[in-house]
């Protein structure tokens, strides 16, 4: 996927979130409390709710984006950059490209993505799934980027 395709497919936060949810739904959600795999989607709260025990889970929970306050779009943009260019980027450079004020969250995101990409061959859950999806993350990552 080139930059033009990326921008037209993911023009805003909503489109990224929709895509992310689509992938999670396909993969299936498992409740961390009771192990049940049936969930309601609470649209107003943007959370999954276990049909058995009522435990709630955010969309990002249990994924590479776990507890991240950064937008889905940030994650998508950076994943696209990393996978499509096959280049390494410093967190500082990414921070500059995103125009984000704080360095720390950007650094953490980069760190987690690198980990996820490194583990991709071992079938890292969501990331692996995304890779299969529409060839979005299909670009192989060179070993030296790990
Ligand atoms: Zn449950």
pLDDT in tens, 20-67: 898 888 878 889 899 999 999 999 999 999 999 999 999 988 788 888
Distance 39 CA to ligand 1 centre (A): 8
The per-residue pLDDT for range 59-111, each reduced to its tens digit, is 988 788 888 999 999 999 998 888 777 778 899 999 999 999 999 999 999 98
Q: For residues 106 and 95, is the Cβ–Cβ distance under 8 A?
A: yes
Q: Pairing relation of β-strands 47-50 and 56-58?
A: antiparallel
Phi and psi (nearest 5°) for 40? -90, 155
3-state helix, strand, coil in the chain (%, to 5): 50, 10, 40
pLDDT exceeds cutoff 60 at 140 = no
Distance 142 CA to ligand 1 centre (A): 39
β-bridge partners, 39: 50
Distance 108 CA to ligand 1 centre (A): 29
Distance 136 CA to ligand 1 centre (A): 31
Distance 94 CA to ligand 1 centre (A): 38
Distance between CA 10 and CA 55 in Å, rounded?
Answer: 31
pLDDT exceeds cutoff 60 at 127 = no
Distance 31 CA to ligand 1 centre (A): 5
Residues near ion ligand 1 (CB < 5 Å) are: 31, 33-34, 36, 50, 52-53, 55
The per-residue pLDDT for range 2-23, each reduced to its tens digit, is 889 889 999 999 999 998 898 8
Q: For residues 45 and 59, is the Cβ–Cβ distance under 8 A?
A: no
For residue 119, the model assigns a pLDDT of 61
For residue 134, the model assigns a pLDDT of 36
**Confidence (pTM):** 0.79
pLDDT exceeds cutoff 70 at 121 = no
Tokens in use for 10?
Answer: 């993911």
Distance 76 CA to ligand 1 centre (A): 29
For residue 105, the model assigns a pLDDT of 96
Distance 104 CA to ligand 1 centre (A): 33
pLDDT exceeds cutoff 80 at 113 = yes
Distance 37 CA to ligand 1 centre (A): 8
At 120, the pLDDT band (50, 70, 90 cuts) reads low
């Amino acid at each position: 996927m080139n930059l033009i395709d990326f921008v037209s497919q993911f023009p805003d936060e909503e489109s990224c979130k929709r895509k992310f949810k689509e992938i999670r739904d396909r993969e299936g959600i498992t409740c961390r409390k009771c192990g049940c795999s049936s969930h309601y989607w609470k649209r107003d709260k943007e959370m999954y709710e276990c049909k058995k025990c009522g435990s709630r889970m955010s969309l990002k929970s249990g994924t590479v984006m776990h507890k991240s306050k950064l937008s889905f779009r940030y994650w998508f943009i950076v994943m696209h950059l990393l996978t499509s260019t096959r280049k390494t980027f410093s967190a500082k450079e990414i921070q500059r490209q995103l125009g984000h004020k704080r360095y720390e969250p950007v650094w953490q995101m980069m760190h987690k993505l690198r980990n996820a990409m490194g583990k991709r061959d071992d079938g890292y859950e969501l990331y692996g799934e995304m890779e299969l999806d529409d060839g979005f993350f299909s670009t192989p990552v060179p070993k030296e980027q790990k």
